[in-house]
A and B are shown apart, each in its own frame.
Chain A
Amino acid sequence: MLSRRLVLWSVFVVLLLALPPVVVALGQPFYIDLVRRIMIFAIAAVSLNLILGYGGMVSFGHAAYLGIGAYAAGILAFYGLASGWLHFGAAIAASALVALAIGSVSIRTSGVYFIMITLAFTQMLYYLGISLALFGGDDGMRLKTRSRFPLLDLGDSLHFYYLVLVLLVAAVYLTHRIVSSRFGMVLRAAKSNEARSRAIGFSPYAYRLLAFTIAGAMGGLAGALLANHTNYLTPDFMHWTRSGEIMFMVILGGMGTAAGPVAGAFALLFVEELLARWTEHWQVILGPLLILSVIFFKRGLAGMFYKPDA
């Protein structure tokens, strides 16, 4: 079973490695950008899957961390600091801190309250972004300089592509390690039966909060990448529909599986791209597609290959 998964993952990574030269040869370099964007969202979806799929926390505010990460990088660049280590470090640290704060209040609640409160906090950050007149307010701002790394040039389409690929693989691997560790077992136990896990002697709160914080940090990394990708950042990164999209990637792909969020990101964003090319009003088709897939496609894409872990 495990080896079959490993084979599937290897095939997937090799395909992604080979994609840029192939699409360049076909005269379609546009796809490098598209797949890079998809992989950035896949990182965000992987991080949401940690708390949603394995932790059972239905966070409807994951776009907040995309925004915090993007603003962390953007604000440093605004003040003339270009170091990529600094940008990414600040993005991760800031979004971890915000996730810690939001999580410490939200995780006290559950069910519908949790969904609504995470949504509301993200909305609060969205309005905060709009009111930051110095950093472009409603319109957002250009990233003054892209994050600079030794040997790497994020302005170079290929460099950036492979960096995102490496980070995506790292995020998937890290999540896999977290989930199969002792910590991850407690997290999953609290999801499947909270009363029982309490009876054994674990208080889920601290475990959930830590997972929420880690997921926020990974979301922040995706945010810094996204700001570099678009070379621009706006409060729209934190728009609640963005949270809904990331959540949908996880569900469409199959939550609680390692491959699910990645598959979901690819499927959703490819379909969006295709529909958007066909008609300006693509959302009028995407909406019903989402509804149909929720009603009829319960186990997600990953469910076609293997059973969920938990």
Chain B
Amino acid sequence: MQRARLAPFFMTLILFFEQLLNGVQLGVMLFLMAAGLTLVLGIMNLVNLAHGSLYMVGAYLTIAAAQWTGSYWLGVLLGLAGALVVGMIVEVVTLRALYARDHLDQVLATFGLILFFNELVAMIWGRASLYSSLPAWLQGHVELLPGSIYPVYRLVIIAVGLAVAALLWYVVTRTRLGMLIRAGASNRTMVAALGVNIRLLYTVVFGFGAALAGLAGLMAGPIYSVQPGMGELILIQVFVVIVIGGIGSIRGALVGALIVGIVDTLGRAFLKPLLGSVISPPAAEAAGPALASMLIYLLMAVVLAVRPAGLFPARG
């Protein structure tokens, strides 16, 4: 008797747990994107809309390289290296000319980059979605809780994301490069005056951010569809992350990314049934998905109304 009555409750709990993990998984992907974007914004004061293009480049190059070499891991390696190289080329060829410009010019020029990359990818690989395959051991499921199985791959994404977060923390707070990055963020001119090659630092930081975006893109390949324009779908969510977290702050990027990932995922999963218990089911059927897709933007508006510089404003 007791058990039977409690069963639906446990089902909901397990579903909630799974969706929470999905939210964390989306969150760490957003973090990989946000970390690079917020560093570039904080240190070089550059608004780079084309960050999403590097994510796309990472996804496509990985698929192409995996097909070409026949090895998933070689594909991953070449995809990462490709995103890094493409990022550094973009920095040297176009973005350097824009550091001294205002944000408006940067937005427009990087908008031009997006048009270029999206169309270039469409020319090479076509406009239809590509799907990438995974090695067998990444395709399985594990039983996390009794009665709940969860894809291994998503757990791997979470692990990789958290490892990158730890690595970033180490690099930024414990190494010489990190010291220069932090110094560059608070006073560029002074760092240059002290004899640091700021141009090289910028290219390195940008390439590093591009590789992180490429990593996010190549991990996104097997779960989301790989198509031209995929970068902008995630880019705008990443903007929300950065606005919530505070520009230039890695910690803010991590917290903001997890909040956005979890809120968005849980909203899509549970808002409709929740609304259905308050208003009529047909009305909830219509309003639920609409509200769920607007949720993170509403969250952003609330955060900005309370803390206009985000949750963790960077110092300086």
Contact = CB atoms under 8 A, between A and B. Distances in A.
Same assembly: yes
Interface of A: 52, 58, 60, 105, 108-109, 111-113, 115-117, 119-121, 123-124, 127-128, 130-134, 240-241, 244, 247-248, 251, 281-284, 286-291, 294-295
Contacts of A60: 107
A284 B116 CA distance: 4
Interface stretch (B137-145, B146-154, B273-281, B296-304): B296-304
Contacts of B101: 294
30 contacts: A105-B301, A108-B304, A108-B308, A113-B309, A115-B47, A115-B103, A120-B236, A120-B243, A120-B297, A120-B300, A124-B297, A127-B290, A128-B293, A131-B286, A241-B111, A241-B114, A244-B108, A247-B107, A248-B111, A281-B119, A283-B119, A284-B115, A284-B119, A284-B120, A287-B112, A287-B115, A287-B116, A290-B108, A290-B111, A294-B109
B236 A286 contact: no
Given A128-B293, A283-B118, A289-B112, 7 more contacts: A108-B308, A123-B297, A244-B111, A251-B104, A290-B109, A290-B112, A291-B109
B123 A284 contact: yes
A220 to B, nearest CB: 20
B128 interface: no
Interface in B268-316: 286, 289-290, 293-294, 297-298, 300-301, 304-305, 308-309
B300 A115 contact: no
Nearest to B117: A287
Pick the most buried of A52, A123, A128, A134: most chain B CB atoms within 10 A of its CB: A123
Nearest to A132: B290
Contact of B304 (A113, A119, A283, A284): A113
Given A127-B294, A281-B119, A283-B115, A295 B97 contact: yes
B91 interface: no
A124 B305 contact: no
A290 B110 CA distance: 9
Contacts of A284: 115-116, 119-120, 123
B201 interface: no
B240 interface: yes
Interface string B142-185: 00000000000000000000000000000000000000000000
Contacts of A294: 98, 101, 105, 108-109, 112
Contact of B103 (A112, A133, A244, A281): A112
Contacts of B85: none
Contacts of B232: 240-241
Contacts of B111: 241, 244, 248, 290
B14 interface: no
A240 B111 CA distance: 10
What 5 A-B pairs are tightest by C-beta distance, nearest first? A287-B116, A290-B112, A287-B115, A131-B290, A124-B297
B198 interface: no
Pick the most buried of A60, A134, A247, A294: most chain B CB atoms within 10 A of its CB: A294
A134 B103 CA distance: 39
B20 interface: no
B290 A115 contact: no
Contact of A287 (B119, B290, B304): B119
Contact of A105 (B118, B236, B242, B305): B305
A112 B236 contact: no
Given A113-B243, A287-B119, A294-B109, A130 B293 contact: yes
B109 A295 contact: yes
Given A113-B308, A120-B236, A287 B294 contact: no
B113 interface: yes
Contacts of B103: 58, 111-112, 115
Contacts of B300: 117, 120
Contacts of A290: 108-109, 111-112, 115
Contacts of A131: 286, 289-290, 293
B239 interface: yes
Contacts of B81: none
Contacts of A109: 304, 308
A233 B47 CA distance: 31
Pick the most buried of A130, A251, A284: most chain B CB atoms within 10 A of its CB: A284
B71 interface: no
B94 interface: yes
Nearest to A113: B243
Interface in B75-132: 94, 97-98, 101, 103-105, 107-109, 111-120, 122-123
B240 A120 contact: yes
A286 B115 contact: yes
Nearest to B302: A105
B290 A116 contact: no
A61 to B, nearest CB: 11
